[in-house]
Structure 1
Amino acid sequence: MAYSAAMSADGPAMPAGRFWVLRLMPDAPGRTALAVLLAFGASAASVALMAVSAWLLSRAAEHPPVLYLQVAAIGVRVFGISRGLFRYLERLVGHDVALRLQSALRIGTYQRLARTTLLGSRRGDLLARVTADVDAVLELIVRFVVPVVSASLVIVATSAVFAAFSPATALWLLGSALVAGVLVPGLAQWLSRRYDEAAAPARGELAAGVHELARTAPDLVAYGVADAALGRVLAVDERLKRQDDRSAWIRGVAAGCQVLAAAVAVLAALLIGGSQVADGTLPPVMLAVLVLTPLALHEVLSTLTQAAQSATRSLASLRRVREVLDAPPVGVGDRDLPPPVAPGALVLTGLAIGWPGAPTLIEGIDLTIAPGEAVAVVGPSGSGKTTLAATILGQIPPKAGTVEVVGRVGYLAQDAHIFATSVAENVRIGNRDADDADVRKALDRAGLPLPLDRVVGEHAGTLSGGEARRLALARLFVGDFQAVVLDEPSEHLDALTAEALLDDLFGSFTGVPLLVVTHDPDVIARCDRTVELAVGAVPYR
């Protein structure tokens, strides 16, 4: 394997357009259309239930023979049952497509993160993007697309039916529905847009603040700045609350306007229908239908203001996810595991390193590490040690020059993340195809006799420092790597634990090129030679 400054790792292109997320799956539009039809069936059944019930009560007041009421009575039962049935099916189909899209989007986000340098950004905000912001797909489908489209169909259908009995009433009904279902929600969305669009970034800022607060709490207390840091987080939380309150206030006013629109529709139906009944152009039993049906229709429209605001928030959240998906790929990402090969030399030729978008830290690096040779890389903080490791691993491209290595490069990070899952799953990060026997063997080599099914806490909360480091070391043993990079392997360990771990490390990787980033004299003493990094040059010692 070799890669150079011209290395590219372009991923699949994301769909364009405002509702690009609906095209993440080929069958998503069809499934969404089915959910819309089911929602239309539920809402239409609700409106029809009110209309038939109104006719039934009005006709029953005339005391006709009971057989004249049988069809309407059956209609009440049919529409009452079908309303619940259609609503259940709509929720089932709508949530199914939304959760499928959510899963596809989250997987795509994780895949893109593996190819970018965004992992170096504020982790709390990044976590909000891949969790809460990705969840906005559900809001967009279930709370906006399905109810808005289905409500539009119900408005047209109800107005068309009304036009057959009373065209003037149908026009008033259509006008009130457009006010309550289009004008009011649109105006409310426009008025609250500033607050709704700011909600997603504020959530990310709050998540970043809480994350930093939790990780640095002991240091903040020790330096006496805990109250100031907590105050900054609380200020963000208060700003988010104000944004929610203002959106809710606008939604409340809009709900009042929708009630007024419904009242206008009812009064217009009463006046126009009453006049038609008096003229003899409308059967008396139909007056109740004209007056009561708008109540059911406007009940369908009552959720559209919240739907409009949800759309603003969802699209703002998805834009933040899109920023992750559109981030330029800089690493090689996940690669298929090559067949086992004999380790070869790790060769750096004319290498210049630096993070994408940042200046070059060091250039002109020429270094060859033979199989079985251990080289210590030392230098002050900021000299480029971690950047060099990231370049060798393929996480970022070289600014110039090439990195040549045979096979796969293993990495033991200083702060290797331990996930809140089983010991076996944590080890399989080094080789996703490893079976239980492979994991057990790797743990034994790492000197960590833990049960495979033992669940460890987040950040190795249930393990000691030495156990956490050995669990990360087992990932190297299970992966069959042909070159290894160690980043501060003895950091944060007591002397006895560090010595035992170093004995295992240097005893296990005797046949592969070993590059060790360290400032520990004991680690340096175990290496065959030392490379000292200084910005702009690479002097050897």
Structure 2
Amino acid sequence: MPDRSSPETRAVLRAAVPPARRLLPVVLLGVASAGSSIALLAASAWLIARAAEQPPILYLSLGVVGVRAFALGRATFRYLERLTGHDAAFRQLASIRSGIYERMLPSAPDGLGMLRRGDLLARFTSDVDDLQFVTLRAVQPFVSAAIVLVAAVAGLAFLAPGSSLGVLACLVVGIGAAVLAERIAADRGARRLAPLRGDLQSAVVEHVTSLETLVAFDAAERSRTRIADLGERLARATRAQAASAGAAAAVMSALGGIAVLASIAGGLPQLASGRLDGPAFAVLCLVPLAIAEVAAAVPVAVAAWRTARVSAERIATAVPAEPPSGVVRPPAAAVAFPSGAGAPTLALRGVRAAWPETGTPSGPVLDGVDLDLAPGERVLLRGPSGTGKTTLAHVLVRFLDYGGSYRIDGVEAAELDPAEVRRRIGLVEQRPWLFDEDLRQNLLFARDTASDDELLAVLDRVGLGEWARERGGLYAPVGERGVLVSGGQAQRIALARAMLADFPVVVLDEPTANVDPDTAGRLLDDLLDAAGERTVLLIMHSVEVPAGVDRVVELTGRG
């Protein structure tokens, strides 16, 4: 099975193949299972023909034992082959998924904005699942079938060389024809199948997550029509692939009958001359059927390899090989983080930054920003939409790279490990992500060692204690993406996470954007009170200055 794929695709395919210590037992069990199938048919043919001659039962004992042994062996070896094969293949899938995560992490979160979530999900799930067939339907069946076919043809040559040559010729021509028929029918469909699956999943995710907006602008029907069209195109590609498999199976079924005729023709001269008895001739008549059944795994293996190669190409390009420009890269030799107690001092001078996906002929979103944050200070950063407030927040937590100078306790942030920066500076986003889990699980990932009492205490501090108890305590559901909580409650839950993580510096990005004006003032007061002695940078576009703010910084234009 030649591979003309890119080096990245070949690397993914190699990663899908288990190491030799796991693959070898699977291959040997496959050889034993396929060999038992051929031996069972040979023993059965010999036993039936020999029993028709009515010899003493003693002469049939070996055949009877052989039929029983090969029948049990075929089922047992087949079960063990499936068990060990799936175990080995699924272990490789787990490592491939981990590898995708590892490739995503350097670019996350801001470097992944250009990727479609639905298509990325399809690559992470369906395309990775397709790689199990590299082992289960391609490598192991191909190797096992090749070994068994060579042994079977050699066994026929021992009985009748003419039969062996006829069966060998049928195998070569039949397998080649089956592979060609499968390729003609499936090549286009297999290459379209995985991308169409990604497009469909992306369209469904976009429709579900944007349904309210689509309904409001009377665009839901067009979105559903697009999904239906993608579904029909995917169905056509799936039918094309199924038709190719059927064409290959039909060729291999015909191969069995032709191989029987070739074997009979090659054995008749020896039967007529008396060099071959009746039971042995019966073996020549029936064994080619079992050989054709084993050979049917070869075109299936070629088709599975082709499908897996398309999925491997999509996995290889699922995320950028290198983080895009503007995304933070850890320094080669990180400087030790300043070890002073309490909140650090932040100082920005002439900071400029841009988003990776826009990365930007129009220039940076931020340009020439100066900002100081003293320990324990509460600063309001305000300005109209589009002036780079959120961009600055992402610079502070080192999601985005920057130009100029950004110092933390006198040390340039670019020289520090970004993960260490994020352990001290926490971001509460405008739209905090809530998982479709209960309240407890949505808090625990901030500090997984926290007890239930600590979780309830932090909920009390952010003003959600009574609300949580009324809804069943920590096991209250929040719904998918927080659909069961209000915007203000989501902000309070996000702040509770920041407090559990014990960030000395907290950046609140538009905390009142999703609440009504009557609630906004009360929510801000509660958030600032709950922050305690932490340094707080409050980012808003409102002109009103909340109580408890020490200083106001205006952000206009690009800096």
TM-score bracket, shorter-length normalisation: 0.7 to 0.9
Amino acid at match of 2:509: D
What's the CA shift for 1:80? Answer: 0.9
Q: Which runs of 5+ in 1 are unaligned?
A: 1-13
What are the within-5 Å matches in structure 2 for residues 357-436 of structure 1?
A: 358-359=359-360, 360-399=364-403, 401-402=405-406, 404=408, 408-436=424-452
Give the Cα–Cα distance (whole angstroms) in 1 for the partners of residues 78 and 263 of structure 2: 28
2:353 alignment counterpart = 353
C-alpha distance in structure 2 between counterparts of 1:471 and 1:234, whole Å: 38
Equivalents in 2 of 1:401, 1:153: separation in Å? 66
- What is residue 472 of structure 1 aligned with on the other side? 494
Structure 1 residue 373, shift from structure 2 partner: 2.5
| Equivalent residue, structure 2, for 1:118 | 112
Corresponding residue for residue 291 of structure 1:
285
Normalising by structure 2, we get a TM-score of: 0.85
Superposed CA offset, 1:162-220 (max 9, x none)? 12112222222223233444552355236522221221111111111111111222222
2:143 to 143, 146, 149: 149
The 8 Å contact of residues 377 and 532 in structure 1, kept in 2 or not, is answered as yes
Distance 2:32 2:227 in 1: 46
Which residue pairs with 1:11 in the alignment? none
Relative to 1, partners in 2 of residues 1:385 and 1:183: Cα closer, same or farther, differing over 3 Å? farther
SS in 1 for 2:474: coil
Change (3 A) 1:454 1:218: closer
Q: Residue type of the partner of 2:349? A: T
Indicate whether 1:263 and 2:286 are aligned.
no
* Aligned residue in 2 for 1:36: 27
Following TM superposition, by how much is the alpha carbon of 1:529 offset from its aligned partner in structure 2, in angstroms? 0.8
Cross-structure match for 1:134: 128
State how 1:168-183 maps to structure 2 within 5 Å: 168-181=162-175, 183=177
Deviation (angstroms), 1:303: 4.4
- Output the amino acid matched with 1:444: D
Q: How many residues are aligned here?
A: 521
Q: 2:15 touches 2:96 (CA, 8 Å); kept in 1?
A: no
For the Cα contact (< 8 Å) 2:42–2:287, is it kept in 1?
A: yes
Write the mapping of 1:269-308 to structure 2, written as runs, cut at 5 A. Answer: 269-308=263-302
CA contact (8 A) 1:419 1:459 kept: yes
CA distance in 2, matches of 1:19, 1:300: 30
* Aligned partner of 1:234 among 216, 228, 236: 228
Aligned match of 2:458 in 434, 438, 442?
442
Percent identity, aligned pairs only, is 36
Q: What is the CA-CA distance between 1:518 and the residue it aligns to? A: 2.3
SS at match of 2:236: helix
- Give the equivalent residue in structure 2 for 1:8: none
User: What is the distance in 1 between the residues matched to 2:185 and 2:337?
Assistant: 53
Offset at residue 277 of structure 1 (A): 0.6
Contact 1:159 1:170 in 2 (8 A): yes
Higher relative contact order structure (alpha carbons within 8 Å, sequence separation ≥ 6): 1
Q: Does 1:193 align with 2:187?
A: yes
Q: Map Cα deviations across residues 270-319 of structure 1 (whole Å, 9 max, x no partner).
A: 11122221122222211121121121222233344444333222222222
Question: What one-letter code is carried by the residue in structure 1 that aligns with 2:378?
Answer: A
Distance in 1 (CA, whole Å) between partners of 2:351 and 2:10 is 42
What is aligned with 1:10? none
| Residues 61-103 of structure 1: CA deviation (Å, up to 9, x unaligned) | 1111111111111111111111111111111111111211112
The equivalent residue for 2:36 is 45
2-side partners of 1:471 and 1:433: how far apart?
18
Mapped contact 1:352–1:401 kept (Cα < 8 A)? no
Deviations 1:465-523 (A, max 9, x none): 33333222221111011222222211222345433432222113353332333223446
Instruction: Please name the residue that 1:218 is paired with.
Output: 212
CA separation in 2, counterparts of 1:261 and 1:244? 26
For 2:71 and 2:7, locate their aligned partners in 1 and report how far apart those are by CA, in whole Å: 41
Matched with 2:417 is none
Question: Are the structure 2 counterparts of residues 120 and 20 from structure 1 closer, same or farther at C-alpha, using a change threshold of 3 Å?
Answer: closer
Residues 15 and 34 of structure 1: CA distance in aligned 2, closer, same or farther (over 3 Å) = farther
